[in-house]
Amino acid sequence: MSKLLWSADGSHIPTIDPHTKAKHLIIEKYVEDLICTLYGKGRRGVDTFTFIDGFSGGGIYKDDESENKEWLGSPVRLIKAVQEGFKKAKREYPINVKFIFIDDKQDHIDCLKNYVMPKSGLDELSQPKDCEFNYEFICGEFEKNINYCVFTAEQRKGHSFFLLDPQGWTDVSMQSIRKITDMKKSEILYTFMIDYIIRFIAGREDSLKRGFEDVLEADGYYQEARNSKLTSSSVQLYLRQESMRLFREKGKAKYVFSFAAVPKGDTRVLYYLLHLSKNLTALEVMKDSFWEENTLGYEYFFNVYGFGFRTVDYYERNQMRLKFEKSKDQECIELLDRDLGRILESHPDGITFREASEKTMELNPARKSHYEQYIRQLREDQLIEIVREGKVINSKSPDLRRKDIIRKSRARQLILPF
């Protein structure tokens, strides 16, 4: 249930928090790039999309920092991002998009539908040419509407995106997460309130036990944190690793990529923005969007995924905190020596660019462009060669393709640091 309140006529709206603004910018940038990438690829890309905003709210906030003192919420930002992505793709075939907005309060739905959307100019006449947009508004709890949302997305086919931004960690069940990840072309952007999990672990409140065990299905997870100092950096890293393990194993997500929202001057994580998907391209686009939009007063730390391979004590001794900035490109390249370098070293007869990316993309903050830059540098140093359709590529700066094979150079021994 939402703790934020909107009146139906928009006369009362809540004030936006800085971390929510950061989240909205990431979502907006990502959806724009996702549409441009999937709709624009190949001769005819994906032309059918379904967007579900499971906790939409009233769609508008007070914002004293903005010029007009208002900040548009996720529903309007989703719609406008799709429009911009469509324009950016510059394709000439139609696109069909359905938006489903869900909230548990009728006043919130009315505010969004009857006040915010008309105020934002979002009606049928405002749609770009060749865009068919359909809006559906549901008053109810997301959990009670998950089956309908999944059924609708499956019937429409195409690509589905679920934005789940609840106020608490018991508002979305792991069962619902699985229903979404079971679909072939789906992804989730989920606000996971790890701070509430920490409180449960520390206080062991009986009232939250059912939610922890039955809703989140986390019984048996986060065990080491129970006997640790919760403010220590090693436990923060451990909590992130356990969260990723939980959503991989129980949520059945192939890729889990996380963003940690950390207040200034603090090492405690407020929440993880988890991206759950089965698609490598979606993961790459999400990393690009996060990189570009990290501009507000929050630090996002990327920590190497090492659960099951290294102990918590390892991270206490070798803590790695990497702030995402555009000036950190070289650090990303250096990190690829450890992750991608190890993969290339262990496949002397070659591995495809796709396989190498799939094995390492979650392990480091590097973007696809960093991967390409790193591989080209190894090739320039004659440490590796790129093979396409059985032939070694001789051109100076080839465009890497997913099926290209990267292998040790036949002329020199490949020795990569990690």
Residue 75 sits in which domain range?
18-323
Say what the pLDDT of residue 230 is.
54
Helix pair 233-249, 194-203: axis angle to 10 deg: 110
As a whole number, the mean pLDDT across the chain is: 83
Quick one: 153 and 295 in the same domain? yes
Domain contains 3: no
Domain contains 417: no
Question: Which pLDDT tens digit goes with each residue over 28-75?
Answer: 999 999 999 999 887 788 999 999 999 999 999 999 888 889 999 999
**Confidence band for 190, pLDDT divided at 50, 70 and 90:** very high
Say what the pLDDT of residue 267 is.
63
- pTM of the complete model: 0.86
Quick one: 383 and 309 in the same domain? no
The CATH number for 338's domain is 1.10.10.10
- Domain's final residue, options 323, 338, 362: 323
Closest Cα to residue 307, out of 209, 225, 207? Answer: 225
- Domain's final residue, options 323, 345, 370: 323
Quick one: 28 and 149 in the same domain? yes
For the chain, the domain total comes to 2
Average pLDDT over residues 264-279: 80
Q: How many CB atoms lie within 10 A of CB 265?
A: 6
Quick one: 336 and 278 in the same domain? no
Can you spell out the DSSP letters for 270-336?
A: -EEEEEEES-HHHHHHHHHHHHHH--SS-B-EE----BTTB-HHHHHHS---EE--GGGHHHHHHHH
Quick one: 256 and 333 in the same domain? no
Question: Which pLDDT tens digit goes with each residue over 323-379?
Answer: 444 456 777 777 788 888 889 889 988 999 999 999 988 877 788 988 998 898 899
Quick one: 249 and 230 in the same domain? yes
Quick one: 84 and 183 in the same domain? yes
The CATH number for 111's domain is 3.40.50.150
How do strand 48-53 and strand 95-103 relate by DSSP bridges?
A: parallel
Question: Which pLDDT tens digit goes with each residue over 76-105?
Answer: 999 999 999 999 998 888 999 999 999 999
- Owner of token pair 């403010």: 231
Domain contains 368: yes
Quick one: 252 and 309 in the same domain? yes
Domain contains 6: no
Quick one: 239 and 296 in the same domain? yes
CA distances from 332 to 237, 275, 411 (A): 19, 20, 28
Say what the pLDDT of residue 122 is.
87
User: Which ranges of 41-141 does DSSP label H, i.e. alpha helix?
Assistant: 74-89, 106-110, 117-119
Question: Which pLDDT tens digit goes with each residue over 293-322?
Answer: 543 332 334 443 222 223 333 334 444 444
